[in-house]
Amino acid sequence: MHGIPHNVREVEEMIHVNWRPLCMAWLSAPLLALCLTGCGDDSDDETVIGGGGGGGGSQAGRCSHFDAQRQPFFGDLHVHTVYSLDANTQGTLTTPHQAYQFALGEELGVQPFLEDGTATRSTQLERPLDFAAVTDHAELFGEVEICTNPDYLEYNTLECLFYRSDPENSFIIFNLVSVGLPELPQFPVPEGIPLVSDLPVIGSNGTIPRLPFCGLNGATCLEAAKTPWNDTQAAAEAYYDRSSDCSFTTFVGYEYTGAPLSNNLHRNVIFKTEVVPELPPAYQEYPREELLWATLSEKCKTEDGCEYLTIPHNSNLSAGMMFETTDRFGNPYDAEFAATRQANEPLAEIYQHKGQSECLGTMGAGANDELCGFELLPYNNLTGDRFNGLNTGPPMEQDFLREAMKKGLAMEKDLGVNPFKYGFIGSSDTHLGTPGNVEESDFPGHAGAGENPADGIEGLTDVIEASPGGLAVLWAEENTRESLFDAMRRREAYATSGNRPVVRFFGGWDLPANACGRNDFVELGYANGVPMGGDLPLQPNVGAAPVFAVSALRDPGGAGIAAEPLQRIQIIKGWVDANGDQQEAVFEVAGDPNNGASVDLNSCATSGDGFASLCAVWQDPGFDPDQHAFYYARVVDNPSCRWSTYQCLAAGVDCDAPETVPEAMADCCNADYPKTIQERAWTSPIWYRPAEPVAEENS
């Protein structure tokens, strides 16, 4: 029965705001029926394409490794390849196919190739990933070409007619269609077109099309030419293991690259199945997130077998825009808009190549939390240090998730719905087509966004403030698209800064104090509580305070992998107090922050004791049942060398003799950046919401 309470709560929220399309588009299979009933819609068809829907965890799945208690799968949902022209102009020629091969652990040959066809360089992942999604910038796919080239079948669709009549203003017209007139079909469905099947279609002339399906209705299936979007889909299909081994999962995805004035509103769009829109809605046509959600909900419908979610990233670089509390017209959020946001965006990237977005460590509440100084970028948008800081400013507290989620609690108090209810993942955001390549000791740079130092001079492989990025971990029954996607939806996910600890986090009212010593820790967690990402049930009796159980295993490391033991676990609480003020506190719950672990900066050798595992059961001492709150765990490793320190050491930089340090290595001696880091994991929060006050006018 685990997982049900908080989902029911969400269903109630949705019904409460009475926004039917949301119901239709947004619930996982087992809840669809509930929702349909709640929405009073026809419930004659709950067909779920793509095999069962999973989610409930009660019945066995299709994989031989199925585990009803769920297992952690490590992956990367933010990967750029040759189709991101910003990566490509810096020499990245990795295709989506090759990116998936790399994620599987195969050696990736890097251009240029010698006469005999062998690559001059190669790179390989020490530890393959369980899942990955190639997410190139849709804005550079050029798919709008389909509207301008009469050879394409879609040339005569309504959308294309609009586009050609007034390309400059087409997004306004599109918006009118998708927002103002939601019933108008965007792509008329031709008669007799079969729906998508799992296996590739054989063309009329006996050839296998590159893309074995095409778009929602398969209309252009047999014509599928090699375009970036088609190739992205074909690669995801080719490398998704549909056998009972379930060894690797891919997702079709892309990046929606909206950045007005370089203020980052980027989102990765991840699709649950192979059924995806014919054209990926891009920023040119849909220049705000609500327009993106509106068009996706039109073009990617659950009843067609299409489901999606959007994952914002680098809120730290949005100059205050990512978590604005108004819509694009400046109107404050209402319950419906808040529900739309929550339904579309269950996850956010808390860490990646361009720093962390957890908390600002230089001002505001986060200044009291010394671990907020971790990988903090010193500016507030994508312009960065270019143009002498002309178009940028210092980082802003409201761009960080902890602050935004507290704001979300305050809004939930007013509106009844929390718009900023995010679970956490980490990503690489690689622009080399190398998912999961996040080891500090071997950071090849990023390409694309990272600027390399002056041409031809040996130097750091990236700007000093950047970092290799992190990983996404999903707790799922099995390694399939359905199971992983459902984990993302219920936020049973955590982020890591690149290391691979295993972290469980449960919250409930009667988790036993001795849970850590029990072999049934996990069963107890699900039976007596909710996992990370969930909502605490209502307070069972007056005076009860919630209990949280968190347990972690260190990264086991391995040959060629530097991994440190654990140092400590913290629980971070955010809440809104009786005066309506937003508060936060950090609690040390396990381990030892002063364990004396240290790093020899002359060799990067580490010393000092740590913990192979840590576990704690913690009860909130300051719990007030009338106050909205969230709780998440931060699991911190012993310190180790930062990527730049490895490189400075290898280059023999001596900061005591500044005249000997080459200019391209000058940042080795930049005191603004630490020499060591503490790798860490951030669990998705568990939320508490007070009981609804008894309605005053009960009609």
Partner 1 sequence: MKRLLREPLLHFLLIGALALLLQATGFDLLRNFLTPPRIEISQADRERLAARWLNETGRHPTSAELQAMLRQYIDEELMFREALRLGLHEHDVVVHQRLILNMRFAEQTPQADAGELLQAALHLGMLHSDPVVRRRLIQRMRHQIENQVEVSENDARQYFQRHRTSFQTPERYSFEQRFFSADQPGALNRALAARQTLTTDDKAVGGDVFLLGNHFEHLSLADIRRRLGDDIAQSIAAATPGEWLGPVSSAYGQHLLRVQAVSDGDMPDYSQLQARVAAQLYTERERAALGEWLQSRRQLYRINIAPAQTGDAA
DSSP state of 49: T
Give the interface segment with partner 1, choosing from 401-409, 419-427, 453-461, 667-675 (CB under 8 A).
453-461
The least CB distance from residue 205 to partner 1, in Å, is 8
The least CB distance from residue 10 to partner 1, in Å, is 28
Q: Return the residue of 42, 44, 115, 191 that touches partner 1, per CB under 8 A.
A: 115
Confirm or reject binding of residue 502 to partner 1 (CB under 8 A): yes
Confirm or reject binding of residue 696 to partner 1 (CB under 8 A): no
Q: Return the residue of 41, 43, 60, 113 that touches partner 1, per CB under 8 A.
A: 113
The least CB distance from residue 8 to partner 1, in Å, is 29
Cα end-to-end span (Å), the chain: 33
Confirm or reject binding of residue 453 to partner 1 (CB under 8 A): yes
265-291 core/surface letters (b: 16 or more CB in 10 A; e: else): bbbbbbbbbbbbbbbbbbbebbbbbbb
Closest CB to partner 1 among 200 and 690? 200
Rg of the Cα trace of the chain?
Answer: 25
Using CA atoms, how far apart are residues 428 and 263, in angstroms rounded to an integer?
20
Closest CB to partner 1 among 52 and 200? 200
The least CB distance from residue 199 to partner 1, in Å, is 6
Confirm or reject binding of residue 390 to partner 1 (CB under 8 A): no
Using CA atoms, how far apart are residues 430 and 422, in angstroms rounded to an integer?
23
Give the interface segment with partner 1, choosing from 66-74, 180-188, 350-358, 469-477 (CB under 8 A).
66-74
Q: What is the dihedral sign for C-alpha 387, 391, 393, 398?
A: negative
The least CB distance from residue 130 to partner 1, in Å, is 9
Q: Which has the closest alpha carbon to 214: 274, 125, 163?
A: 274
The least CB distance from residue 485 to partner 1, in Å, is 19
CB 154 within 8 A of CB 147: yes
- Per-residue contact flags (x/-) with partner 1 for residues 69 to 108, judged by CB under 8 A: x-x--x-------xx-xx-xx-x-----x-------x---
User: Between residue 513 and residue 552, which ones bind partner 1 under the rule CB under 8 A?
Assistant: 516-519, 521-522, 551-552
Confirm or reject binding of residue 153 to partner 1 (CB under 8 A): no
Place of tokens 């907020």: 372
The least CB distance from residue 30 to partner 1, in Å, is 24
Confirm or reject binding of residue 58 to partner 1 (CB under 8 A): no
DSSP state of 65: T
Q: Return the residue of 47, 59, 120, 607 that touches partner 1, per CB under 8 A.
A: 120
Confirm or reject binding of residue 148 to partner 1 (CB under 8 A): yes
Confirm or reject binding of residue 237 to partner 1 (CB under 8 A): yes
Give the interface segment with partner 1, choosing from 241-249, 252-260, 301-309, 627-635 (CB under 8 A).
241-249
Question: Could you please report the per-residue DSSP string of 398-455?
Answer: GGSHHHHHHHHHHHHHHHSS-S---EEEE---BSSS-TT---GGG----SSSSPP-ST
Q: Return the residue of 559, 578, 671, 694 that touches partner 1, per CB under 8 A.
A: 559
- Determine the 3-state secondary structure of 477 from DSSP: coil
Q: Return the residue of 199, 542, 694, 695 that touches partner 1, per CB under 8 A.
A: 199
Q: Return the residue of 262, 284, 391, 539 that touches partner 1, per CB under 8 A.
A: 284
- Angle (CA) 392-398-402 rounded to 5° is 130
Closest CB to partner 1 among 237 and 440? 237
Q: Return the residue of 226, 329, 542, 671 that touches partner 1, per CB under 8 A.
A: 226
Confirm or reject binding of residue 452 to partner 1 (CB under 8 A): yes
Q: How far is CA 386 from CA 252, 356, 379, 390, 449, in A?
A: 33, 20, 11, 8, 12
- Per-residue contact flags (x/-) with partner 1 for residues 560 to 579, judged by CB under 8 A: ---x-x--------------
Residue 464 CA, chain-centre distance (Å), reads 24
List, in sequence order, every residue forming a beta bridge with 238; answer none if it has no partner.
none
Confirm or reject binding of residue 196 to partner 1 (CB under 8 A): no
Using CA atoms, how far apart are residues 540 and 543, in angstroms rounded to an integer?
9
Closest CB to partner 1 among 15 and 502? 502
Confirm or reject binding of residue 663 to partner 1 (CB under 8 A): no
CB 687 within 8 A of CB 422: no
Question: Could you please report the per-residue DSSP string of 301-346?
Answer: -GGGT--EEEEE--GGGBTT-TT-SB-TTSPBP-HHHHHHHHHH-S
Confirm or reject binding of residue 558 to partner 1 (CB under 8 A): yes
Confirm or reject binding of residue 391 to partner 1 (CB under 8 A): no
Q: Return the residue of 12, 18, 41, 121 that touches partner 1, per CB under 8 A.
A: 121
Q: Return the residue of 154, 159, 345, 555 that touches partner 1, per CB under 8 A.
A: 555
Confirm or reject binding of residue 468 to partner 1 (CB under 8 A): no
Using CA atoms, how far apart are residues 285 and 294, in angstroms rounded to an integer?
12
Confirm or reject binding of residue 455 to partner 1 (CB under 8 A): yes
Q: Which two tokens stand for residue 641?
A: 């060398």
CB 497 within 8 A of CB 680: yes
The DSSP H or E segment spanning 565 is: none
Number of other CB atoms surrounding residue 430 within 10 Å: 30
User: Between residue 305 and residue 344, which ones bind partner 1 under the rule CB under 8 A?
Assistant: none
User: Between residue 586 and residue 615, which ones bind partner 1 under the rule CB under 8 A?
Assistant: 611-613, 615
Closest CB to partner 1 among 109 and 674? 109
Confirm or reject binding of residue 697 to partner 1 (CB under 8 A): no
User: Between residue 166 and residue 195, which ones bind partner 1 under the rule CB under 8 A?
Assistant: 167-168
Q: Which has the closest alpha carbon to 634: 396, 402, 476, 420?
A: 402
Using CA atoms, how far apart are residues 190 and 263, in angstroms rounded to an integer?
41
Give the interface segment with partner 1, choosing from 231-239, 310-318, 356-364, 687-695 (CB under 8 A).
231-239
